[in-house]
Amino acid sequence: MFMICFLSVTSFWPGWQNSEAEQQEPPVSSPVTIAIIQPRGVDAYREAVEGFLYSLRNRIHQRFNTVIYESPEGLYKTLKQNEPSHKSSTIQLIVTIGTQATNEVSRTIHDIPIVFSMVLNPERVLSNRTDIVGASLNIPFSLQLEMINKVLPTVKTVGIIYDPTKHDNVLMAQSPSKKQYGLRLTTFPVTSPKEIPGALSRVNKETDVLLGIVDSTVYTSRTTASIIRYTIKHQLPFVGISASYVKAGALCALLFNSRDIGRQTAQLAEQVLSGIPPTTLQNTIPEKIYLALNLRTARLIDVTIPKKIQEKAEILYE
């Protein structure tokens, strides 16, 4: 089952139609139609779409309509309806929200420009497509290391548990960052969840902090709960990958702003709609990043977080 929501920008944003009429001549071409694949039930995805629409409305002069689908199937059905009469597609741009939707649509659609949003490790997801661009969620290792250095100034060695079949090239590309801020990265490869307890034991013995990364082998809902329990029990600081990790007991995490990811997506969409080839554009990384801290976890693992760092945190769990 899928849901289609057709929105006109003039009705979605009250008062916009009059201001547009005052600022420009009446449009001489038909409105642009943008299809958005927004999986249901994810607040961050909803916020990204809100940021995208708000920013795009303020960036382009041409009127546009949006059609929002909960899954790619709705989009495919719409496109298929044009086939019997051989009509050209009325959709000028597809915006995919999230890794799964981006992966699916990129493997199926090849004749309509695609801009993605809210995707982790897009180079891996889109390994066979160089004509798709978008806003990633990849927070640079250098920022992660800077944050660790400030939150935990006595730390010298950072441990990362990862699946080499998914991240080996990514981690190797970060080798220049290994010496930044006086920190050394040590990696612990695993190929299945069964190997995580052994890797955790090694991290605890050989490093000062565990840095979490997006890895579906290592961090699932079940394994993450076990990892958090282990790190608290053994007083091993754990840097999570989202606010939910910090709320559950990770010491801290760097977070992105979903609405701002939508804004970055709109910037790229504007350029693609203006005729700039996606192959000449660069994927973006989060520009607005903030810190979440769990002070209760800090007390449990006997870590003192500098007061000035606490004051800078956007989210504080006590």
Instruction: Report domain extents, the chain.
Output: 4-137+258-280, 141-255+289-317
Could you give the count of Cα atoms lying within 13 Å of 224 in the half-sphere of its Cβ?
Answer: 20
How far apart are the C-alpha atoms of 88 and 138, rounded to whole Å?
36
| pLDDT at site 10 | 37
Token digits of residue 46: 């909803």
CATH numeric code, 141-255+289-317: 3.40.50.2300
For residue range 190-219, list pLDDT tens digits in order.
999 999 999 999 999 999 999 998 787 899
Q: Is the CATH number 3.40.50.2300 carried by domain 4-137+258-280?
A: yes
Measured over the CA atoms of residue 226, residue 175, residue 251 and residue 42, the dihedral's sign is negative
Residue 170: burial class (beta carbons within 10 Å; 0-12, 13-18, 19+): middle
Domains 4-137+258-280 and 141-255+289-317 fall in the same CATH topology: yes
Residue 141: which pLDDT band, with cuts at 50, 70 and 90?
confident
Note the pTM of the prediction, 2 decimals: 0.74
Taking the alpha carbons at both ends of the chain, their separation in whole angstroms is 42
